[in-house]
Amino acid sequence: MNEDSDADADASADAPCDAPLPPGRDPAASPEVRHEAYLVPGFDAVARMLCAALHVPLVALVLVEGGTFFFAPGSSKLPAVSGQLQDLLLSAIARDASREELDVHEHAGAEADGASTPLRFFASVPVHTLTHRHVAALCVIDFDPRASLSEADRVMLADAATLAGAAVVLRSYIRRVDPVTQLPHRNAFFEDLRARAEGGARSLAIVAIEVAPASRFNAFIRAMGHQYADALVRLVAMRIQEWMAQDMCLYQVGVTRFALLLADTLAFADSASFDRLVARLREPFDCQGIPLTIQPGVGLLEMPASKLTTGDALRLVMSASHTAQQSVRGWSHYEQAQDELHQQEFFLVTELSEALNNPASVAANELELHFQPRVDLRSGRCVAVEALMRWHHPSLGWVSPARFIPLVEQAGLMRCLTDWVFQRGLQQLSSWLRDGLDIHLSMNVSSTDFEADLVPRLLLAAEHFHVPLRYIELELTEDTFMHNSEAVQQRLAQLSELGVSIAIDDFGTGYSNLAYMRKLPASTLKIDQSFVASIDESADDEMIVRCIAGMARSLGFRVVVEGVETASIYRTIRDMGCDEIQGYFIARPMPGRDLAPWLARFEADGIVEGDAL
Ligand code: C2E
Ligand code: MG
Ligand code: MG
């Protein structure tokens, strides 16, 4: 813990009511103490021990930055703070030194005011942080005259001061306002929320605002640095403040997250107001001369005060803001179903990560690689198989890769998954090649794979399993090619020179720019199954597939048609002059061990034109 910087962040600290003020501070300028959490944690325990060990009825801790905390043991009441005590407390922090007043009544010469008991003994020790910053004075007080402290008492007092030093640092850590925006932070939010519930509010109205998805904000920090990021967050806070009504309180509850407590839920009825907030937040920010846009999400939560479990309130409203971030409108009410989906996604990613990273785990056995045959239409032979991930979840059953692959990508786990596929896929391919099967393997890779060292990873795995590179094909979607053109092109060129084939997957669902695709070192183009499914009913789809296939072939691509489910689709495709087909009509994806027997049957029977499935 960087205690000094945390304590510094605490510079605008509170001054408790009835407490003496540090020199030079204006009482009117001192904010009130509002929160229990702002007390010095552990002070009571330290003071109780001091009272017992030194037999004193009162202990006080005076903070240099302002604020005094008293402790009187048992049922003793805290005495009213007299002018005499005020003076002593102030002088205790004025100097960074220990002090002992044996008979205050006579020495200090202070007049006891009528309301308070005159003190007779006062001793104080300075309190330091671990880096020797003088932050407070710990004082023991008696109302009876007494002898000087013994050596053991002094050691005890010094030890207590050390503990108090740690507690003061901890206090500033816990209760500080956010140093970037100077807004109250999460603790204050929870305390206020609880106070409202305890203060009789029947329902709580909370708004959460997420500035940008974490990945995007981190990319922004990487590109621009923390200073810019801080400046941006401040600008966002200012726009929210401009929008806010007088009776709303704004908190910074995370680096890129704000929360608002509304006076009541009436404001939720004014949807135009939230449209205005989103529109304003979507306008470009001029962040230190650089124009920037964010992707805000505003979540709304109405919660009965009786149901308040503070930790959850924030989680629920954040779930709504997360949903809102992806929506066109940019704001949305909390919905339980959506929240459950987020939770489930989180657990899926956690479990998948465990399965991928820990081969010894139970979860690891839930993952399998299946292989789907691709058949060459001219020769009628199965020339390749596509590797497809399969996950059998213990409670959810089969989870589709269409569902978990995007989650893996968002969670930054794609590298692990692709490595896993390389290992399993190439191990299987190597065993097929050893058994004399002449078959190619295509594996799907995603755009995030290209950010990392994809090429050496593939080469290493191929070498490990003694697989010649010409047997390998990588499938990339159009978007991958378009988004990272420079880096991707370089790596693809390298792979293609080494003999690895490249296929454009799901063609027709993205930019579908054939002229651009031709510039890439890809040799195969896979037409997406969405056009193929209704090719027999839709003349448009038939025309699209026919045109893409014709153009792609004339540009030199090998054309593969995905999703061939029926005999009639097969016949239509065959007559278009495509090169390969893949689909349930030929075979569903199957475990590696089933391929050899399937191949034997297929080679004997050829394509049987009765419908499959
Ligand atoms: P894809 O690469 O386009 O794979 C083809 C998908 O179509 C597979 O779905 C396959 O099971 C399905 N399919 C094949 N023939 C037919 C058919 O006749 N009819 C229908 N309706 N579907 C058919 P799957 O296995 O669910 O995978 C979905 C997507 O998930 C894949 O689409 C691919 O983008 C991704 N994926 C799967 N495994 C991996 C992997 O290991 N790595 C990466 N990066 N992505 C993967
Ligand atoms: Mg594919
Ligand atoms: Mg595909």
pLDDT in tens, 508-519: 887 778 888 888
For residue 267, the CA-to-ligand 2 centroid distance in Å is 48
Residue closest to 243 by CA, chosen among 274, 219, 220, 217: 274
Residue 611: its pLDDT value, please? 56
For residue 92, the Cα-to-chain-centroid distance in whole angstroms is 46
69 and 168 both lie in a single domain: yes
Q: Could you tell me if residue 348 is inside a domain?
A: no
Q: What is the count of structural domains for the chain?
A: 3
- Note residues around ion ligand 2 (Cβ under 5 angstroms): 444, 475, 505
254 and 380 both lie in a single domain: no
For residue 466, what are the domain limits? 371-604
Q: What is the CATH number of the domain that holds 84?
A: 3.30.450.40
Q: Is residue 210 packed enough to be buried (19+ CB in 10 Å), middle (13-18) or exposed (0-12)?
A: buried
485 and 589 both lie in a single domain: yes
For residue 497, the CA-to-ligand 3 centroid distance in Å is 24
3-class SS at 550? helix
Residue that finishes a domain, picked among 288, 317, 334: 334
Q: Could you tell me if residue 181 is inside a domain?
A: no
What residues does ligand 1 touch, defined as CB less than 6 Å away? 372, 387-389, 400-402, 405, 421, 444-446, 475, 505-506, 529, 562-565, 582-584, 589
| pTM > 0.85 | no
Q: Could you tell me if residue 365 is inside a domain?
A: no
What is the DSSP pairing of strand 524-527 with strand 558-561? parallel
460 and 577 both lie in a single domain: yes
194 and 151 both lie in a single domain: no
For residue 219, the CA-to-ligand 3 centroid distance in Å is 29
59 and 117 both lie in a single domain: yes
Q: Buried b vs exposed e over 395-407: b needs ≥16 C-beta within 10 Å?
A: eeeebebeebeeb
The residue whose C-alpha atom lies closest to atom 20 belonging to ligand 1 is: 563
Write out residues in the chain with pLDDT < 70, as ranges: 1-38, 75-79, 105-116, 173-176, 309-311, 451-452, 483-485, 610-613
What does the alpha-carbon distance between residue 119 and residue 541 come to, in Å, rounded to a whole number?
95
What does the alpha-carbon distance between residue 275 and residue 268 come to, in Å, rounded to a whole number?
11
Q: What is the CATH number of the domain that holds 222?
A: 3.30.70.270
Residue 118: its pLDDT value, please? 79
Q: Could you tell me if residue 241 is inside a domain?
A: yes
Q: What are phi and psi of 437, to 5 degrees?
A: -80, 140
What does the alpha-carbon distance between residue 189 and residue 249 come to, in Å, rounded to a whole number?
9
Number of H helices, E strands in the chain: 21, 22
Which residues are CB-neighbours of 138 under 8 A, at least 6 positions away? 50, 59, 60, 61, 124, 125, 127, 157, 160, 161, 164
113 and 205 both lie in a single domain: no
Q: Could you tell me if residue 397 is inside a domain?
A: yes
Token code pair at residue 215: 């990945």
329 and 193 both lie in a single domain: yes
444 and 472 both lie in a single domain: yes
Percent of the chain with pLDDT over 90: 57
Task: Find out whether 24 and 15 touch, Cβ atoms under 8 Å.
Answer: no
Work out which ligand 1 atom sits closest to the CA atom of 446: 44
pLDDT in tens, 155-183: 999 999 999 999 988 777 666 677 788 88
Q: Could you tell me if residue 363 is inside a domain?
A: no
519 and 582 both lie in a single domain: yes
Neighbours of 112 (CB within 10 A): 15
564 and 463 both lie in a single domain: yes
Residue 491: its pLDDT value, please? 87
